A and B are shown apart, each in its own frame.
Chain A
Amino acid sequence: MEYILHLLILICFYTLLSQSLNLSAGFTGLISLSHAGFYGIGAYITAILSTHFGFSFWLNLPLAMLISGAIAFVVSLIALRTVEDYFIICTLGIQVILFSLMNNLMNVTRGPLGIPGIPSISFFGMSLDSKISFLTLSLFFVALVWFVLKNISKSGFGKTLTAISEDEIYTQSIGKNVYQSKIISFTTSAILAAIPGALYAHYISYIDPTSFTVNESIFILSIVIIGGLGNLTGSFLAAAFLVLLPEVLRFVGMPDSIAANMRQIIYGVMLVAVMMTDRNGFLELEFQRKKQKMR
Protein backbone atom coordinates (compact mmCIF):
# COMPACT_ATOMS: atom_id res chain seq x y z
CA MET A 1 0.00 0.00 0.00
CA GLU A 2 2.83 2.37 0.96
CA TYR A 3 4.46 1.59 -2.37
CA ILE A 4 1.31 2.33 -4.34
CA LEU A 5 1.04 5.67 -2.54
CA HIS A 6 4.68 6.34 -3.42
CA LEU A 7 3.92 5.70 -7.09
CA LEU A 8 0.89 7.98 -6.94
CA ILE A 9 3.07 10.76 -5.46
CA LEU A 10 5.60 10.25 -8.27
CA ILE A 11 2.78 10.52 -10.80
CA CYS A 12 1.81 13.83 -9.16
CA PHE A 13 5.40 15.12 -9.49
CA TYR A 14 5.67 14.19 -13.14
CA THR A 15 2.21 15.54 -13.89
CA LEU A 16 3.28 18.87 -12.39
CA LEU A 17 6.56 18.81 -14.32
CA SER A 18 5.09 17.85 -17.67
CA GLN A 19 2.11 20.20 -17.42
CA SER A 20 4.37 23.13 -16.52
CA LEU A 21 6.64 22.28 -19.45
CA ASN A 22 3.54 22.01 -21.61
CA LEU A 23 2.93 25.72 -21.10
CA SER A 24 6.15 26.64 -22.90
CA ALA A 25 6.58 23.58 -25.13
CA GLY A 26 2.98 22.87 -26.00
CA PHE A 27 1.14 26.17 -26.01
CA THR A 28 4.01 28.40 -27.12
CA GLY A 29 6.07 25.94 -29.17
CA LEU A 30 9.23 26.55 -27.12
CA ILE A 31 10.47 22.96 -26.83
CA SER A 32 12.96 23.11 -23.99
CA LEU A 33 15.47 20.61 -22.63
CA SER A 34 16.29 22.57 -19.47
CA HIS A 35 13.19 21.76 -17.43
CA ALA A 36 14.98 19.33 -15.09
CA GLY A 37 17.41 22.17 -14.37
CA PHE A 38 14.63 24.41 -13.05
CA TYR A 39 13.10 21.46 -11.21
CA GLY A 40 16.53 21.04 -9.61
CA ILE A 41 16.80 24.72 -8.72
CA GLY A 42 13.48 24.43 -6.90
CA ALA A 43 14.68 21.36 -5.01
CA TYR A 44 18.09 22.82 -4.13
CA ILE A 45 16.77 26.19 -2.96
CA THR A 46 14.30 24.34 -0.72
CA ALA A 47 16.95 21.97 0.59
CA ILE A 48 19.44 24.74 1.37
CA LEU A 49 16.88 27.02 3.00
CA SER A 50 15.41 24.30 5.18
CA THR A 51 18.67 22.67 6.29
CA HIS A 52 20.75 25.87 6.78
CA PHE A 53 18.14 28.34 7.93
CA GLY A 54 15.36 26.06 9.15
CA PHE A 55 12.72 27.66 6.94
CA SER A 56 9.39 25.88 6.65
CA PHE A 57 7.97 24.53 3.40
CA TRP A 58 5.47 27.37 3.16
CA LEU A 59 8.29 29.92 3.03
CA ASN A 60 10.60 27.75 0.90
CA LEU A 61 8.05 27.21 -1.83
CA PRO A 62 7.51 30.88 -2.79
CA LEU A 63 11.25 31.59 -2.50
CA ALA A 64 12.11 28.59 -4.67
CA MET A 65 9.55 29.67 -7.25
CA LEU A 66 10.87 33.21 -7.19
CA ILE A 67 14.52 32.23 -7.65
CA SER A 68 13.74 29.63 -10.29
CA GLY A 69 11.66 32.25 -12.11
CA ALA A 70 14.41 34.87 -11.86
CA ILE A 71 17.00 32.49 -13.30
CA ALA A 72 14.59 31.42 -16.04
CA PHE A 73 13.93 35.06 -16.88
CA VAL A 74 17.64 35.79 -17.37
CA VAL A 75 18.09 32.55 -19.29
CA SER A 76 15.12 33.25 -21.53
CA LEU A 77 16.48 36.68 -22.46
CA ILE A 78 19.47 34.85 -23.94
CA ALA A 79 17.91 31.64 -25.19
CA LEU A 80 14.98 33.29 -26.94
CA ARG A 81 17.30 35.01 -29.35
CA THR A 82 17.38 31.65 -31.11
CA VAL A 83 14.52 29.75 -32.70
CA GLU A 84 13.27 26.19 -33.05
CA ASP A 85 16.06 23.62 -33.13
CA TYR A 86 18.75 26.12 -32.15
CA PHE A 87 16.60 26.95 -29.16
CA ILE A 88 16.60 23.28 -28.13
CA ILE A 89 20.40 23.09 -28.39
CA CYS A 90 20.65 26.33 -26.40
CA THR A 91 18.38 25.02 -23.63
CA LEU A 92 20.38 21.78 -23.65
CA GLY A 93 23.47 23.91 -22.98
CA ILE A 94 21.67 25.67 -20.14
CA GLN A 95 20.68 22.31 -18.67
CA VAL A 96 24.32 21.15 -18.73
CA ILE A 97 25.46 24.41 -17.08
CA LEU A 98 22.78 24.16 -14.35
CA PHE A 99 23.71 20.53 -13.74
CA SER A 100 27.40 21.30 -13.44
CA LEU A 101 26.61 24.11 -11.00
CA MET A 102 24.64 21.66 -8.83
CA ASN A 103 27.34 19.04 -9.18
CA ASN A 104 30.40 21.25 -8.69
CA LEU A 105 29.57 24.11 -6.31
CA MET A 106 30.77 22.04 -3.38
CA ASN A 107 30.38 24.71 -0.69
CA VAL A 108 26.76 25.46 -1.62
CA THR A 109 25.25 22.21 -2.90
CA ARG A 110 27.81 19.72 -1.52
CA GLY A 111 28.20 18.43 -5.08
CA PRO A 112 27.69 14.71 -5.69
CA LEU A 113 27.35 14.13 -1.92
CA GLY A 114 23.92 15.72 -2.03
CA ILE A 115 22.02 17.40 0.77
CA PRO A 116 20.57 15.03 3.41
CA GLY A 117 18.22 15.65 6.31
CA ILE A 118 15.58 17.86 4.74
CA PRO A 119 12.69 17.96 7.27
CA SER A 120 9.20 16.92 6.26
CA ILE A 121 6.45 19.46 5.71
CA SER A 122 4.43 20.65 8.69
CA PHE A 123 0.97 22.09 8.23
CA PHE A 124 -0.44 24.16 11.13
CA GLY A 125 1.67 22.25 13.61
CA MET A 126 0.90 18.79 12.27
CA SER A 127 3.66 17.04 10.40
CA LEU A 128 2.84 15.56 7.00
CA ASP A 129 4.98 12.48 7.58
CA SER A 130 2.62 9.84 6.30
CA LYS A 131 2.46 9.13 2.60
CA ILE A 132 -1.29 9.61 2.46
CA SER A 133 -1.11 13.15 3.81
CA PHE A 134 1.75 14.00 1.46
CA LEU A 135 -0.26 12.60 -1.44
CA THR A 136 -3.16 14.86 -0.46
CA LEU A 137 -0.85 17.87 -0.50
CA SER A 138 0.59 16.86 -3.90
CA LEU A 139 -2.88 16.36 -5.32
CA PHE A 140 -3.79 19.83 -4.10
CA PHE A 141 -0.86 21.30 -6.04
CA VAL A 142 -1.65 19.23 -9.12
CA ALA A 143 -5.23 20.53 -9.05
CA LEU A 144 -4.03 24.10 -8.49
CA VAL A 145 -1.47 24.03 -11.33
CA TRP A 146 -3.91 22.27 -13.64
CA PHE A 147 -6.52 24.91 -12.88
CA VAL A 148 -4.04 27.77 -13.44
CA LEU A 149 -2.76 26.33 -16.71
CA LYS A 150 -6.28 25.62 -17.95
CA ASN A 151 -7.18 29.22 -17.30
CA ILE A 152 -4.02 30.56 -18.91
CA SER A 153 -4.74 28.51 -22.02
CA LYS A 154 -8.29 29.86 -22.20
CA SER A 155 -7.29 33.46 -21.58
CA GLY A 156 -6.41 36.01 -24.23
CA PHE A 157 -2.75 35.57 -23.36
CA GLY A 158 -3.12 31.82 -23.93
CA LYS A 159 -4.58 32.47 -27.35
CA THR A 160 -1.59 34.68 -28.15
CA LEU A 161 0.72 31.82 -27.14
CA THR A 162 -1.15 29.38 -29.39
CA ALA A 163 -0.94 31.92 -32.19
CA ILE A 164 2.84 32.16 -31.67
CA SER A 165 3.19 28.39 -31.90
CA GLU A 166 1.21 28.38 -35.13
CA ASP A 167 2.60 31.40 -36.91
CA GLU A 168 5.08 33.67 -35.21
CA ILE A 169 5.43 36.29 -37.90
CA TYR A 170 1.70 36.61 -38.41
CA THR A 171 1.20 37.03 -34.66
CA GLN A 172 3.76 39.81 -34.64
CA SER A 173 2.08 41.47 -37.59
CA ILE A 174 -1.21 41.84 -35.70
CA GLY A 175 0.58 43.78 -32.98
CA LYS A 176 1.32 41.12 -30.38
CA ASN A 177 4.63 41.33 -28.57
CA VAL A 178 5.98 37.89 -29.46
CA TYR A 179 9.32 38.17 -27.65
CA GLN A 180 7.70 39.34 -24.41
CA SER A 181 5.01 36.65 -24.51
CA LYS A 182 7.64 33.99 -25.04
CA ILE A 183 9.65 35.26 -22.07
CA ILE A 184 6.56 35.24 -19.84
CA SER A 185 5.62 31.75 -20.97
CA PHE A 186 9.13 30.33 -20.46
CA THR A 187 9.51 32.01 -17.06
CA THR A 188 6.09 30.90 -15.82
CA SER A 189 6.82 27.35 -16.84
CA ALA A 190 10.08 27.43 -14.82
CA ILE A 191 8.30 28.98 -11.82
CA LEU A 192 5.78 26.13 -11.87
CA ALA A 193 8.59 23.58 -12.22
CA ALA A 194 9.94 24.75 -8.85
CA ILE A 195 6.76 23.45 -7.13
CA PRO A 196 7.47 19.74 -7.76
CA GLY A 197 11.13 20.56 -6.96
CA ALA A 198 10.25 21.85 -3.49
CA LEU A 199 7.83 18.97 -2.89
CA TYR A 200 10.41 16.43 -4.04
CA ALA A 201 13.08 17.77 -1.67
CA HIS A 202 10.77 17.57 1.35
CA TYR A 203 9.37 14.21 0.30
CA ILE A 204 12.60 12.28 -0.35
CA SER A 205 14.46 14.36 2.35
CA TYR A 206 17.71 13.83 0.45
CA ILE A 207 18.65 15.30 -2.93
CA ASP A 208 21.68 14.93 -5.17
CA PRO A 209 22.41 16.21 -8.70
CA THR A 210 21.73 12.87 -10.42
CA SER A 211 17.98 13.52 -10.18
CA PHE A 212 18.30 16.60 -12.40
CA THR A 213 20.32 15.45 -15.40
CA VAL A 214 19.85 15.91 -19.15
CA ASN A 215 18.18 12.49 -19.19
CA GLU A 216 15.56 13.75 -16.75
CA SER A 217 14.90 16.72 -19.04
CA ILE A 218 14.51 14.38 -21.98
CA PHE A 219 12.15 12.23 -19.92
CA ILE A 220 9.94 15.20 -19.01
CA LEU A 221 9.91 16.37 -22.62
CA SER A 222 8.98 12.85 -23.74
CA ILE A 223 5.98 12.88 -21.39
CA VAL A 224 4.82 16.14 -22.94
CA ILE A 225 5.28 14.94 -26.51
CA ILE A 226 3.75 11.52 -25.97
CA GLY A 227 0.81 13.11 -24.16
CA GLY A 228 0.38 15.63 -26.90
CA LEU A 229 1.61 19.22 -27.10
CA GLY A 230 -0.86 21.59 -25.55
CA ASN A 231 -2.84 18.74 -24.05
CA LEU A 232 -2.90 18.92 -20.22
CA THR A 233 -4.94 15.74 -19.75
CA GLY A 234 -2.57 14.01 -22.16
CA SER A 235 0.42 15.06 -20.04
CA PHE A 236 -1.22 13.59 -16.95
CA LEU A 237 -2.02 10.30 -18.70
CA ALA A 238 1.45 10.03 -20.23
CA ALA A 239 3.07 10.80 -16.85
CA ALA A 240 1.00 8.06 -15.21
CA PHE A 241 1.83 5.65 -18.02
CA LEU A 242 5.58 6.26 -17.97
CA VAL A 243 5.83 6.19 -14.17
CA LEU A 244 3.92 2.91 -13.97
CA LEU A 245 5.70 1.34 -16.97
CA PRO A 246 8.71 -0.06 -14.99
CA GLU A 247 6.23 -1.57 -12.50
CA VAL A 248 4.36 -3.26 -15.32
CA LEU A 249 7.65 -4.53 -16.77
CA ARG A 250 8.62 -5.86 -13.34
CA PHE A 251 5.21 -7.47 -13.04
CA VAL A 252 5.74 -9.45 -16.24
CA GLY A 253 8.98 -10.74 -14.74
CA MET A 254 11.67 -8.43 -16.04
CA PRO A 255 14.57 -7.81 -13.63
CA ASP A 256 15.04 -4.30 -12.22
CA SER A 257 18.28 -3.60 -14.06
CA ILE A 258 16.66 -4.26 -17.43
CA ALA A 259 13.36 -2.53 -16.63
CA ALA A 260 14.99 0.92 -16.37
CA ASN A 261 16.62 0.59 -19.79
CA MET A 262 13.51 -0.96 -21.28
CA ARG A 263 11.48 2.04 -20.17
CA GLN A 264 13.85 4.40 -21.98
CA ILE A 265 13.76 2.20 -25.09
CA ILE A 266 9.96 2.17 -25.00
CA TYR A 267 9.59 5.91 -24.73
CA GLY A 268 12.32 6.39 -27.33
CA VAL A 269 10.31 4.27 -29.74
CA MET A 270 7.16 6.18 -28.78
CA LEU A 271 8.87 9.51 -29.53
CA VAL A 272 9.91 8.29 -32.98
CA ALA A 273 6.45 6.86 -33.60
CA VAL A 274 4.69 10.09 -32.61
CA MET A 275 6.98 12.08 -34.89
CA MET A 276 6.55 9.67 -37.79
CA THR A 277 2.77 9.32 -37.80
CA ASP A 278 -0.03 11.81 -37.89
CA ARG A 279 -1.90 10.03 -35.16
CA ASN A 280 -1.44 11.41 -31.68
CA GLY A 281 1.28 13.71 -32.99
CA PHE A 282 -0.29 16.94 -31.97
CA LEU A 283 2.74 18.96 -33.06
CA GLU A 284 2.41 17.38 -36.46
CA LEU A 285 -1.18 18.46 -36.95
CA GLU A 286 -0.35 21.92 -35.72
CA PHE A 287 2.37 22.41 -38.29
CA GLN A 288 0.33 20.93 -41.10
CA ARG A 289 -2.42 23.37 -40.38
CA LYS A 290 0.16 26.14 -40.55
CA LYS A 291 1.41 24.89 -43.87
CA GLN A 292 -2.08 24.73 -45.34
CA LYS A 293 -2.68 28.27 -44.25
CA MET A 294 0.40 29.48 -46.02
CA ARG A 295 -0.51 27.86 -49.33
Chain B
Amino acid sequence: MYDLQILINILLTFVINLLVANSYSLIYYPTKFFHIAHAAVITLSAYFVFFFANKLSIPFWPSVAFAITAAVSIGLLCEVLVYLKMRRRNVPALAYLIASIGLYLVLQNCISLYFGDDTKIINTAEVTVGHQIFGAYITTVQLVTIAVSLVLFVAVNLFLQFTATGKSIRAVGSNPELCNIYGISSNKIILTAFGIGSALAATAGILSAMDTNMTPTFGFNLLLYGVVAMIIGGVGSTRGLIAGSLLVATAQHLAAYYIDTKWMDAVTYIILILFLIWKPLGFSGKRLKKVEV
Protein backbone atom coordinates (compact mmCIF):
# COMPACT_ATOMS: atom_id res chain seq x y z
CA MET B 1 0.00 0.00 0.00
CA TYR B 2 3.00 2.23 0.53
CA ASP B 3 3.67 2.12 -3.21
CA LEU B 4 0.31 3.67 -3.99
CA GLN B 5 0.99 6.48 -1.55
CA ILE B 6 4.25 7.22 -3.35
CA LEU B 7 2.40 7.26 -6.67
CA ILE B 8 -0.10 9.75 -5.30
CA ASN B 9 2.71 11.93 -3.94
CA ILE B 10 4.51 11.82 -7.29
CA LEU B 11 1.28 12.76 -9.06
CA LEU B 12 0.80 15.73 -6.74
CA THR B 13 4.33 17.05 -7.18
CA PHE B 14 4.00 16.42 -10.89
CA VAL B 15 0.89 18.54 -11.33
CA ILE B 16 2.30 21.42 -9.28
CA ASN B 17 5.57 21.28 -11.22
CA LEU B 18 3.64 21.13 -14.46
CA LEU B 19 1.58 24.17 -13.56
CA VAL B 20 4.63 26.19 -12.53
CA ALA B 21 6.66 25.05 -15.55
CA ASN B 22 3.77 25.93 -17.82
CA SER B 23 3.29 29.37 -16.28
CA TYR B 24 7.00 29.98 -16.55
CA SER B 25 7.43 28.81 -20.11
CA LEU B 26 4.47 30.99 -21.11
CA ILE B 27 6.54 33.98 -20.05
CA TYR B 28 9.91 32.59 -21.07
CA TYR B 29 8.87 31.66 -24.59
CA PRO B 30 7.98 35.14 -25.90
CA THR B 31 10.50 37.07 -23.75
CA LYS B 32 13.52 34.71 -23.71
CA PHE B 33 14.77 35.67 -20.28
CA PHE B 34 14.56 34.14 -16.82
CA HIS B 35 11.95 36.04 -14.83
CA ILE B 36 13.12 35.07 -11.32
CA ALA B 37 10.64 37.48 -9.71
CA HIS B 38 8.01 34.95 -10.84
CA ALA B 39 8.89 33.14 -7.60
CA ALA B 40 7.68 36.18 -5.66
CA VAL B 41 4.38 36.08 -7.58
CA ILE B 42 3.92 32.44 -6.46
CA THR B 43 4.67 33.33 -2.85
CA LEU B 44 2.67 36.56 -2.86
CA SER B 45 -0.55 34.94 -4.07
CA ALA B 46 -0.48 32.47 -1.18
CA TYR B 47 0.24 35.24 1.33
CA PHE B 48 -2.51 37.38 -0.14
CA VAL B 49 -4.98 34.55 0.46
CA PHE B 50 -3.68 34.35 4.02
CA PHE B 51 -4.03 38.12 4.37
CA PHE B 52 -7.59 38.36 2.99
CA ALA B 53 -8.98 35.16 4.51
CA ASN B 54 -7.28 35.08 7.90
CA LYS B 55 -6.57 38.73 8.67
CA LEU B 56 -9.50 40.51 7.03
CA SER B 57 -11.83 37.50 7.47
CA ILE B 58 -13.15 37.71 3.93
CA PRO B 59 -14.82 34.43 2.84
CA PHE B 60 -12.47 31.94 1.21
CA TRP B 61 -13.43 32.06 -2.47
CA PRO B 62 -13.53 35.87 -2.81
CA SER B 63 -10.12 36.05 -1.11
CA VAL B 64 -8.70 33.57 -3.62
CA ALA B 65 -10.03 35.74 -6.43
CA PHE B 66 -8.60 38.91 -4.85
CA ALA B 67 -5.28 37.20 -4.22
CA ILE B 68 -4.90 36.00 -7.80
CA THR B 69 -5.83 39.47 -9.08
CA ALA B 70 -3.29 41.09 -6.75
CA ALA B 71 -0.53 38.62 -7.69
CA VAL B 72 -1.22 39.09 -11.40
CA SER B 73 -0.99 42.87 -10.93
CA ILE B 74 2.44 42.42 -9.34
CA GLY B 75 3.55 40.29 -12.32
CA LEU B 76 2.23 42.89 -14.75
CA LEU B 77 3.86 45.72 -12.81
CA CYS B 78 7.25 43.99 -13.09
CA GLU B 79 6.83 43.90 -16.85
CA VAL B 80 5.47 47.45 -17.24
CA LEU B 81 7.76 49.23 -14.79
CA VAL B 82 11.02 47.37 -15.39
CA TYR B 83 11.26 44.92 -18.26
CA LEU B 84 9.39 47.03 -20.82
CA LYS B 85 11.73 49.98 -20.23
CA MET B 86 14.73 47.68 -20.54
CA ARG B 87 13.40 46.15 -23.75
CA ARG B 88 13.14 49.62 -25.33
CA ARG B 89 16.88 49.94 -24.84
CA ASN B 90 17.54 46.47 -26.18
CA VAL B 91 19.67 45.03 -23.36
CA PRO B 92 20.96 41.41 -23.27
CA ALA B 93 19.02 38.60 -21.54
CA LEU B 94 21.57 38.63 -18.72
CA ALA B 95 20.58 42.15 -17.65
CA TYR B 96 16.90 41.13 -17.33
CA LEU B 97 17.87 38.16 -15.21
CA ILE B 98 19.89 40.32 -12.81
CA ALA B 99 17.12 42.91 -12.66
CA SER B 100 14.61 40.14 -11.92
CA ILE B 101 16.81 38.85 -9.08
CA GLY B 102 16.70 42.41 -7.71
CA LEU B 103 12.91 42.49 -8.03
CA TYR B 104 12.67 39.12 -6.33
CA LEU B 105 14.80 40.34 -3.40
CA VAL B 106 12.59 43.40 -2.98
CA LEU B 107 9.28 41.51 -3.12
CA GLN B 108 10.41 38.58 -0.96
CA ASN B 109 11.77 40.87 1.75
CA CYS B 110 8.58 42.92 1.73
CA ILE B 111 6.71 39.68 2.48
CA SER B 112 9.21 38.84 5.24
CA LEU B 113 8.84 42.30 6.73
CA TYR B 114 5.06 42.30 6.77
CA PHE B 115 4.26 38.66 7.58
CA GLY B 116 7.45 37.50 9.34
CA ASP B 117 9.67 34.59 8.41
CA ASP B 118 7.79 31.91 10.34
CA THR B 119 5.74 29.17 8.72
CA LYS B 120 2.15 30.13 7.97
CA ILE B 121 -0.86 27.95 7.25
CA ILE B 122 -3.93 28.97 5.27
CA ASN B 123 -6.92 27.93 7.38
CA THR B 124 -9.51 26.23 5.24
CA ALA B 125 -12.57 24.91 6.99
CA GLU B 126 -11.74 21.96 9.21
CA VAL B 127 -8.84 19.56 9.13
CA THR B 128 -9.90 16.21 7.69
CA VAL B 129 -8.16 12.86 7.61
CA GLY B 130 -8.54 12.57 3.88
CA HIS B 131 -10.12 10.02 1.62
CA GLN B 132 -8.85 6.51 1.68
CA ILE B 133 -8.19 4.81 -1.64
CA PHE B 134 -6.86 1.25 -1.40
CA GLY B 135 -5.09 2.10 1.82
CA ALA B 136 -3.49 5.36 0.59
CA TYR B 137 -4.68 8.73 1.81
CA ILE B 138 -5.53 11.77 -0.27
CA THR B 139 -7.06 14.98 1.05
CA THR B 140 -9.75 17.04 -0.64
CA VAL B 141 -7.25 19.84 -1.22
CA GLN B 142 -4.98 17.40 -3.03
CA LEU B 143 -7.84 16.15 -5.22
CA VAL B 144 -8.72 19.76 -6.06
CA THR B 145 -5.04 20.48 -6.80
CA ILE B 146 -4.79 17.60 -9.27
CA ALA B 147 -8.06 18.48 -11.00
CA VAL B 148 -7.42 22.24 -11.20
CA SER B 149 -3.83 21.83 -12.41
CA LEU B 150 -4.69 19.39 -15.16
CA VAL B 151 -7.70 21.41 -16.33
CA LEU B 152 -5.64 24.62 -16.40
CA PHE B 153 -2.80 22.91 -18.24
CA VAL B 154 -5.10 21.56 -20.94
CA ALA B 155 -6.98 24.86 -21.19
CA VAL B 156 -3.81 26.94 -21.56
CA ASN B 157 -2.38 24.67 -24.20
CA LEU B 158 -5.64 24.65 -26.18
CA PHE B 159 -5.60 28.43 -25.86
CA LEU B 160 -2.06 28.57 -27.24
CA GLN B 161 -2.93 26.25 -30.11
CA PHE B 162 -6.28 27.55 -31.29
CA THR B 163 -6.96 31.17 -30.34
CA ALA B 164 -5.60 34.24 -32.10
CA THR B 165 -3.94 35.58 -28.95
CA GLY B 166 -2.40 32.21 -28.21
CA LYS B 167 -1.01 31.95 -31.70
CA SER B 168 0.37 35.48 -31.39
CA ILE B 169 2.20 34.51 -28.20
CA ARG B 170 3.85 31.64 -30.05
CA ALA B 171 4.57 33.91 -33.01
CA VAL B 172 6.25 36.50 -30.80
CA GLY B 173 8.25 33.66 -29.30
CA SER B 174 9.63 32.59 -32.62
CA ASN B 175 10.23 36.01 -34.16
CA PRO B 176 9.24 39.27 -32.42
CA GLU B 177 10.50 41.57 -35.15
CA LEU B 178 8.52 39.85 -37.89
CA CYS B 179 5.44 40.04 -35.64
CA ASN B 180 5.83 43.78 -35.33
CA ILE B 181 6.05 44.03 -39.12
CA TYR B 182 2.81 42.06 -39.46
CA GLY B 183 1.08 44.42 -37.04
CA ILE B 184 1.12 42.24 -33.92
CA SER B 185 2.38 44.43 -31.08
CA SER B 186 4.97 42.24 -29.38
CA ASN B 187 4.83 44.36 -26.22
CA LYS B 188 1.07 43.84 -25.85
CA ILE B 189 1.44 40.12 -26.46
CA ILE B 190 4.23 39.84 -23.91
CA LEU B 191 2.05 41.72 -21.40
CA THR B 192 -0.74 39.20 -22.05
CA ALA B 193 1.70 36.35 -21.54
CA PHE B 194 2.82 37.89 -18.23
CA GLY B 195 -0.83 38.16 -17.17
CA ILE B 196 -1.73 34.55 -17.95
CA GLY B 197 1.58 33.21 -16.66
CA SER B 198 1.26 35.09 -13.38
CA ALA B 199 -2.33 33.87 -12.94
CA LEU B 200 -1.21 30.25 -13.39
CA ALA B 201 1.70 30.75 -11.01
CA ALA B 202 -0.61 32.38 -8.45
CA THR B 203 -2.92 29.37 -8.62
CA ALA B 204 0.00 26.99 -8.19
CA GLY B 205 1.23 28.99 -5.21
CA ILE B 206 -2.16 28.94 -3.47
CA LEU B 207 -2.68 25.21 -4.11
CA SER B 208 0.78 24.33 -2.87
CA ALA B 209 0.46 26.51 0.24
CA MET B 210 -2.92 24.99 1.07
CA ASP B 211 -1.60 21.47 0.70
CA THR B 212 1.35 22.00 3.02
CA ASN B 213 2.30 25.39 4.46
CA MET B 214 4.26 28.45 3.43
CA THR B 215 7.31 30.55 4.25
CA PRO B 216 8.39 33.75 2.43
CA THR B 217 10.82 31.73 0.29
CA PHE B 218 8.73 28.70 -0.67
CA GLY B 219 8.00 30.13 -4.13
CA PHE B 220 11.69 30.15 -5.02
CA ASN B 221 12.08 26.38 -4.69
CA LEU B 222 8.81 25.77 -6.48
CA LEU B 223 9.93 28.02 -9.31
CA LEU B 224 13.33 26.36 -9.61
CA TYR B 225 11.72 22.91 -9.93
CA GLY B 226 9.53 24.38 -12.67
CA VAL B 227 12.53 25.93 -14.43
CA VAL B 228 14.44 22.64 -14.26
CA ALA B 229 11.39 20.83 -15.67
CA MET B 230 11.15 23.40 -18.46
CA ILE B 231 14.84 23.22 -19.35
CA ILE B 232 15.06 19.42 -19.36
CA GLY B 233 11.78 19.22 -21.24
CA GLY B 234 12.95 21.62 -23.90
CA VAL B 235 11.63 25.16 -24.21
CA GLY B 236 8.41 25.65 -26.12
CA SER B 237 7.27 22.04 -26.20
CA THR B 238 4.08 20.88 -24.45
CA ARG B 239 5.06 17.23 -24.36
CA GLY B 240 8.50 18.23 -23.12
CA LEU B 241 6.92 20.09 -20.20
CA ILE B 242 4.95 16.99 -19.22
CA ALA B 243 7.99 14.73 -19.52
CA GLY B 244 10.24 17.19 -17.65
CA SER B 245 7.79 17.73 -14.78
CA LEU B 246 7.19 13.99 -14.50
CA LEU B 247 10.89 13.22 -14.43
CA VAL B 248 11.59 15.86 -11.76
CA ALA B 249 8.67 14.72 -9.60
CA THR B 250 9.57 11.03 -9.90
CA ALA B 251 13.24 11.59 -9.19
CA GLN B 252 12.45 13.72 -6.13
CA HIS B 253 10.13 11.19 -4.56
CA LEU B 254 12.28 8.19 -5.36
CA ALA B 255 15.25 10.04 -3.86
CA ALA B 256 13.16 10.84 -0.80
CA TYR B 257 12.07 7.21 -0.51
CA TYR B 258 15.34 5.44 -1.17
CA ILE B 259 17.89 7.95 0.17
CA ASP B 260 16.45 10.73 2.30
CA THR B 261 14.12 13.71 1.85
CA LYS B 262 17.00 16.10 2.47
CA TRP B 263 18.62 15.12 -0.83
CA MET B 264 15.57 16.06 -2.95
CA ASP B 265 16.96 19.43 -4.04
CA ALA B 266 20.41 18.09 -4.88
CA VAL B 267 18.94 15.26 -6.97
CA THR B 268 16.84 17.74 -8.96
CA TYR B 269 19.88 19.79 -9.88
CA ILE B 270 22.02 16.77 -10.61
CA ILE B 271 19.39 15.79 -13.19
CA LEU B 272 19.53 19.30 -14.63
CA ILE B 273 23.31 19.14 -14.90
CA LEU B 274 23.27 15.65 -16.43
CA PHE B 275 20.86 16.97 -19.03
CA LEU B 276 23.05 19.98 -19.73
CA ILE B 277 25.96 17.61 -20.39
CA TRP B 278 24.34 14.91 -22.50
CA LYS B 279 21.19 16.45 -23.84
CA PRO B 280 21.53 20.24 -23.65
CA LEU B 281 18.50 20.74 -25.85
CA GLY B 282 16.10 18.86 -23.59
CA PHE B 283 13.72 16.05 -24.47
CA SER B 284 12.21 17.87 -27.40
CA GLY B 285 15.59 18.60 -28.97
CA LYS B 286 14.65 22.18 -29.80
CA ARG B 287 17.58 24.56 -29.97
CA LEU B 288 18.01 26.58 -26.79
CA LYS B 289 19.45 29.68 -28.49
CA LYS B 290 22.83 31.29 -28.95
CA VAL B 291 24.53 27.95 -28.34
CA GLU B 292 25.04 27.58 -32.05
CA VAL B 293 25.77 30.77 -33.92
Chain A contact residues, CB within 8 Å of chain B: 31, 78-79, 81-86, 88-90, 92-94, 96-97, 100-101, 103-104, 169, 218, 221-222, 225, 258, 261-262, 264-265, 267-272, 274-276, 281, 283-284, 287, 291
Contacts and interface: CB of A to CB of B under 8 A. Distances in A.
Contact of A264 (B109, B262, B290): B109
Choose among A79, A86, A281, A284 the residue with the greatest number of B CB atoms under 10 Å from its CB. Answer: A86
B105 A267 contact: yes
Contact of B288 (A79, A86, A270, A291): A86
Interface stretch (B62-70, B90-98, B158-166, B168-176): B90-98
Nearest to A286: B92
Given A89-B227, A89-B231, A284-B91, A258 B98 contact: no
Nearest to A219: B105
Interface residues of B, number: 46
B181 interface: no
B276 A78 contact: yes
B113 A258 contact: yes
Given A88-B97, A93-B269, 13 more contacts: A85-B33, A86-B231, A89-B272, A93-B228, A93-B272, A97-B269, A169-B293, A261-B112, A268-B105, A269-B106, A272-B82, A283-B95, A284-B95
| Leading 9 A-B pairs by shortest Cβ distance | A271-B102, A268-B105, A93-B269, A275-B99, A268-B106, A272-B102, A100-B266, A261-B109, A268-B102
Nearest to A111: B262
Q: Is the interface of B mostly helix, strand, loop or mixed?
A: helix
A89 B34 contact: yes
8 contacts: A104-B262, A221-B98, A262-B109, A268-B102, A275-B98, A276-B82, A281-B95, A287-B92
B110 to A, nearest CB: 7
Contact of A83 (B108, B273, B290): B290
Interface in B77-117: 82, 85-86, 90-99, 101-106, 108-110, 112-113
A258 B265 CA distance: 29
